[in-house]
Chains A and B, each alone.
Chain A
Amino acid sequence: MAGNNMLKQTPSQTVGPYFAYGLTPTQYGYSQLDSLVAPATPEEDTPGERITVIGQVLDGAGKPVDDAMIEIWQADAEGRYAHPSDPRGSNSPFQGFGRCGTGPDPMNRFRFDTIKPGAVEDGHAPHIAVLVFMRGMLLHAYTRLYFSDERDANAKDPVLSAVPADRRDTLIAQREETPSGTVYRFDIRMQGDKETVFFDV
């Protein structure tokens, strides 16, 4: 640490109930502003397995939250991030970031049509970083989605290994084959017996 010379972090504040027309305008039908960030991320020619990630955010009463915003950040199908800190770079047009509100869906689900990321490095399991924002949260929550069909890789993953064994299931998205393609179901529980594990990163 650099000690006393460091500037002090700006405190976080809640995203509040009215983010949609600014942060997800297209998804919510506000036509004055185009969304810079779409819920669906891959282009036609992005290599990788097409998947859909879908889930609800459940509050402490088990009620689906209708004003949450979820963001995801992930690597490409070969485990590379489209960011200068990844020296390998990404050869695909895939940006790796998505944002989706839970308001428009009748079941208050978030949904991302994306690709399945590859493992970022040996010994790490494929995963997607997930950020949860909503009214009633003064600071967003950070978690990770892992894949139910990556059992062996999940067993070795250093981040999953840092999670108490009896809570790891909260981070595993369940794979289902549906007529419209591969779906991973990932519900986020803010509280309760199966409270999702959130990380201090």
Chain B
Amino acid sequence: MNDITPFTSRDWDSQPNYIDSGYKSTTLRGPTQPLVKIPTTLTEVTGPVFTPARATDLDADLTRNGRVNGEPLGERIIVTGRVLDEMGRPVRNSLVEVWQANSTGRYVHKVDQHDAPLDPNFYGAGRCATDENGVYRFKTIKPGAYPWGNHFNAWRPNHIHFSLFGAGIASRLVTQMYFPGDPLIPLDPIAQATPGEPLERLISKFSLDVTEEGYALGYVFDIVLRGPNATPMED
């Protein structure tokens, strides 16, 4: 198996450090030893293949998939974008999973203790598969900000959690999408773990083209994953 095309390397200028003095939980949880560089084998360039049909249309509509006796409260939004690799190739038929707080900033998760109301008609998680052009699309409710215990008066900016797979297990990515103009972003240690231009890539863009007349505002969030390097490695 000598014809493996390695993936583009992890871009350490774009990725956070394991130990980050601003984000206190990293202190005991981030690895402290340098990562060991290893040769690429078939293990890293392969990964799970999901059948797109296993994610239904309802799974991608968070305004509907948690309804019990009415509509969820809050501002309806559409979140869409393309999943590409660094060479600009679309990542096709790939699973995109999202989870988020409701409009009050409360998660359905049992351990969320924030004193804000649950919405009986909002679950807050969904998934879809990218299409032939790498496009994904969700309908949801704009998540609220919520407090957390990192430091005094700490609040997470509005955000949606994203999980992505890409071409192989080495391209796996879990990240968070933010909203333009959020005043909490400059104060948030998690967002600021990749400050400057890389952080701009985590902030969605408002789009009037995606916005639907009389229904919901639209936001675009494109995602770039590692993928097969176009040219063979020279070593």
Query: Which A residues are closer than 8 A to B by beta carbons?
Result: 1-2, 5-23, 25, 28, 30, 32-33, 36-37, 59-61, 65, 67, 71, 73, 75, 81-86, 95-97, 120-121, 124, 127, 129, 131, 133-142, 144, 158-159, 162-164, 167, 190-191, 195-201
B14 at interface, CB cutoff 8 A:
yes
B21 at interface, CB cutoff 8 A:
no
Q: Cβ of A18 and Cβ of B65 under 8 Å apart?
A: no
Contact A13:B193 (CB < 8 A) given known A8-B198, A96-B48? yes
Q: Cβ of A199 and Cβ of B35 under 8 Å apart?
A: yes
Task: Choose one: A12, A86, A124, A201; the contact of B174 (CB below 8 Å).
Answer: A12
Give the distance to chain B from A126, nearest Cβ to Cβ, in Å.
11
B:45-60 near A, CB below 8 Å: 45-50, 54-55, 59
Pairs across A and B, CB under 8 Å, 7 listed: A11-B175, A22-B99, A33-B123, A136-B29, A138-B194, A139-B16, A142-B170
Q: Cβ of A60 and Cβ of B27 under 8 Å apart?
A: yes
- A residues near B125, Cβ cutoff 8 Å: 21-22, 25, 32-33
- B residues near A32, Cβ cutoff 8 Å: 65-66, 123, 125
B:86-136 near A, CB below 8 Å: 86-88, 95, 97-99, 101, 107-112, 123-127
Contact A13:B123 (CB < 8 A) given known A1-B231, A65-B29? no
- A residues near B123, Cβ cutoff 8 Å: 21, 32-33
Q: Cβ of A138 and Cβ of B109 under 8 Å apart?
A: no
- B residues near A127, Cβ cutoff 8 Å: 43
Q: Cβ of B16 and Cβ of A138 under 8 Å apart?
A: yes
Task: Choose one: B10, B33, B111, B193; the contact of A138 (CB below 8 Å).
Answer: B193
Task: Choose one: B25, B45, B65, B101; the contact of A33 (CB below 8 Å).
Answer: B65
B151 at interface, CB cutoff 8 A:
no
Q: Output the residue of A134, A138, A163 with the most chain B CB within 10 A.
A: A138
Q: Cβ of B231 and Cβ of A2 under 8 Å apart?
A: yes
Number of B interface residues at 8 Å Cβ cutoff, please give it.
92
B:147-187 near A, CB below 8 Å: 161, 163, 167-170, 172-176
Q: Taking chain A's interface residues, is the majority helix, strand, or loop, or is none over half, making it mixed? A: loop
When C-beta atoms are compared, the residue in chain A nearest to B2 turns out to be: A121
Q: Cβ of B161 and Cβ of A22 under 8 Å apart?
A: yes
When C-beta atoms are compared, the residue in chain B nearest to A103 turns out to be: B111
Q: Cβ of B174 and Cβ of A10 under 8 Å apart?
A: no
Give the distance to chain A from B109, nearest Cβ to Cβ, in Å.
4
When C-beta atoms are compared, the residue in chain A nearest to B230 turns out to be: A2
Give the distance to chain B from A59, nearest Cβ to Cβ, in Å.
4
- A residues near B84, Cβ cutoff 8 Å: 7
